[in-house]
Amino acid sequence: QVQLVESGGGLVQAGGSLRLSCQYSGRTFITYRMGWFRQAPGKEREFVGAVAWSSGTTNYADSVKGRFTISRDSTKNTVYLQMNSLKTEDTAVYYCAAGFGAGLGPAVKDYTYWGQGTQVTVSS
């Protein structure tokens, strides 16, 4: 099985920064991707971005392009979400997820394993 553990959430003022981490353990696969999603109260879970583990290729939602950056450290089996210029509308529970196969698509159904989530609150 696969386990994903997020950390790094918290409270930050608008315009500030946070870095989330997600450590992956368990089975490994030759081709997989790590995604970040978020879910605000009363809203559906939405795609933030994803990274192909082997190549490092990334894909981002338009709402976070230029502000958020995904990176990974293969020596630590960890993926990061660096969030800059945070806005109040970025407030949500953030989840990391692992999916397998090609592509960095945004569909929730394409990700098999999920972390427990970490709260990010951006105050005005």
- 25-49: per-residue pLDDT in tens? 887 766 689 999 999 999 999 999 9
* CA–CA distances in Å: residue 65 to residues 45, 70, 84: 18, 11, 10
Most distant CA pair in the chain: distance in Å?
43
Positive or negative torsion for Cα 2, 109, 116, 77? positive
Place of tokens 């630590």: 76
- 41-71: per-residue pLDDT in tens? 999 999 999 999 888 999 999 999 999 999 9
Distance CA 98, CA 34 (A): 5
* Short-list 47, 51, 48, 6, CA closest to 31: 51
Q: Are strands 118-123 and 10-13 parallel, antiparallel or unpaired?
A: parallel
- 63-103: per-residue pLDDT in tens? 999 999 999 998 899 999 999 999 999 999 999 999 988 78
